[in-house]
């Protein structure tokens, strides 16, 4: 059951990076293929018969298996799709396409943070797995890292972009949760704080870097799940407690505890092989889909919004004036751009907007 949920989470990361310009059928077709890719990698790392498991790769709840994989496939899709209309100006500078409701976004991250206690501590599969208190130990590390990620992101955004940006703060929490996912069962609480702080900085710098190379990632998935996933996986090579590695019978202690470079080498090997396999297969499959049937929506459909063009309804009615009857008006799109003229029949049903008194 956990594997099904984790695979769904990984796939959701892919769709975040490809959001707002992908045809609906791609979600179904690529989703089926990615499920196979995910299953191969999860077998490598989590199955007792997996080759990376036999080498001692440490990834307790999926910084690599779930998050790094999803970000890699999302990166392949974002490259092949190209940026959303209006994301980059003629001078190459990125334009902000803000979220619909930052209050709802904040609530969503808080819910996700709470849900992560099912993701990480839940991966112990038992409150007394490895001894009473282990579930709480994993939960403590998870929470400490997330809180530190918020602080790391706020401080970094304040220094780099001169504002304590709320969206960066929220991504800092997510990035820290991603990074601690691999390490939550292996590191000391102080190390969880370090992992979280660094993750917050990574996500801010990562989002800016991705924009600089003109890759459009609407939710920051490549930075929050990919770069943070890499950091969380590598951090174990430095910070894994020998006692926890022995307790979980997975790998060895990190460099800081006299374990040498062995564990770091195993973590690097895992990242390299998973990265090469996941990205190459994802890019190849999506490239073939692009060349045969096309994976990107038409400009008119994208500008109107996929809620309207793909599903025939408004996801955010306040963007469409008047409502009901605003479908097809000159400036009802998410970007405020004009669209093809409505038919006479459609125009006749439009309800006029009353003038303000």
pLDDT, residue 62, reads 95
Architecture of domain 2-292: Orthogonal Bundle (1.10)
Say what the pLDDT of residue 100 is: 80
Enclosing H/E stretch for 282 = helix 262-292
Summary mean pLDDT of the chain:
89
CA nearest 120: which of 146, 147, 138, 140?
138
Express as a percent the part of the chain with pLDDT over 70: 86
Task: Annotate 346-357 with three-state secondary structure.
Answer: HHHCCCCCCCCC
Lowest mean pLDDT of 61-65, 108-112, 344-348, name the range.
344-348
Residue 196 near residue 179 (C-beta atoms within 8 A): yes
Nearest residue to 213 via CA among 71, 92, 95: 92
Task: For residue 29, name the pLDDT band (cuts at 50, 70, 90).
Answer: very high
C-alpha distances in angstroms, 204 versus 16, 149, 165, 198, 214? Answer: 17, 11, 10, 10, 16
CA distance 156 to 152: 6
Tracing tokens 């990698």 back to the chain, one arrives at 41
Specify the 3-state DSSP secondary structure of 343. coil
DSSP 257: G
Which residue would you say has higher pLDDT here, 295 or 1?
A: 295
Q: How far is CA 236 from the centre of its chain?
A: 21
User: Would you state the pLDDT for residue 307?
Assistant: 87
Alpha carbons 157 and 217: distance in angstroms, whole number: 18
Assigned token pair, 66: 């779930």
Confidence of residue 125 (pLDDT cuts 50, 70, 90): confident
- Greater model confidence, 4 or 12: 12
Mean pLDDT score, 192-213: 97
- What number is the average pLDDT over the span 237-249? 95
Instruction: Please report the pLDDT score of residue 312 as a whole number.
Output: 83
pLDDT exceeds 80 at position 3: no
Residue 310 has what pLDDT? Answer: 84
Bond from prior residue into 322 cis (ω within 30 degrees of 0) = yes
Residue 84 has pLDDT above 50, yes or no: yes
pLDDT greater than 60 at residue 332:
no
- Domain limits, CATH 1.10.3430.10, in the chain: 2-292
Structure tokens that stand for 309 in this block = 């063009």
Distance of CA 312 to the CA centre of its chain: 27
> Can you give the pLDDT at residue 356?
41
Q: Specify whether the backbone of 92 is left (phi greater than 0), alpha (psi in -120 to 50) or beta.
A: left
Min mean pLDDT across 77-81, 226-230, 333-337 is at: 333-337
pLDDT at 351 over 50: no
Residues in contact with 336: Cβ distance below 8 Å, sequence separation at least 6, in sequence order: none
């Amino acid at each position: 059951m956990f594997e099904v949920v984790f695979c769904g989470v990984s796939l959701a990361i892919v769709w975040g990076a490809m959001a707002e310009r992908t045809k609906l059928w791609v979600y179904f077709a690529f989703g089926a293929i990615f499920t196979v890719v995910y299953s191969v990698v999860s077998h490598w790392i989590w199955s007792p018969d997996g080759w990376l498991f036999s080498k001692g790769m440490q990834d307790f709840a999926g910084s690599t298996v779930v998050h790094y994989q999803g970000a890699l496939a999302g990166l392949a899709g974002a490259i092949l799709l190209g940026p959303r209309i209006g994301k980059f100006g003629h001078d190459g500078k990125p334009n902000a396409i803000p979220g619909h409701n930052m209050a709802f976004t904040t609530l969503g991250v808080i819910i996700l943070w709470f849900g992560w206690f099912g993701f990480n501590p839940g991966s112990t599969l038992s409150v007394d797995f490895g001894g009473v208190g282990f579930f709480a130990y994993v939960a403590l590390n998870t929470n400490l890292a997330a809180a530190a990620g918020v602080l790391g992101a706020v401080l970094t955004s304040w220094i780099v972009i001169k504002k304590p940006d709320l969206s960066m703060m929220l991504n800092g929490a997510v990035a820290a949760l991603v990074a601690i996912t691999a390490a939550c069962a292996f590191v000391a609480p102080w190390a969880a704080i370090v992992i979280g702080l660094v993750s917050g900085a990574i996500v801010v710098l990562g989002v800016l870097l991705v924009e600089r190379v003109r890759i459009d990632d609407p939710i920051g998935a490549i930075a929050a799940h990919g770069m943070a996933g890499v950091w969380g996986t590598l951090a174990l090579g430095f910070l894994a407690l020998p006692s926890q590695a022995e307790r979980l019978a997975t790998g060895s202690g990190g460099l800081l505890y006299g374990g040498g470079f062995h564990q770091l080498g195993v973590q690097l090997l895992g990242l390299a092989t998973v990265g090469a396999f996941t990205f190459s297969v994802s890019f190849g499959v999506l490239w073939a889909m692009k060349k045969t049937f096309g994976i990107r929506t038409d400009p008119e459909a994208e500008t109107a919004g996929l809620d309207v063009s793909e599903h025939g309804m408004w996801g955010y009615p306040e963007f469409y004036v008047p409502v009901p009857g605003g479908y097809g008006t000159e400036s009802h799109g998410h970007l405020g751009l004009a669209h093809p003229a409505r038919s006479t029949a459609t125009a006749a049903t439009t309800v006029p907007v009353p003038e303000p008194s």
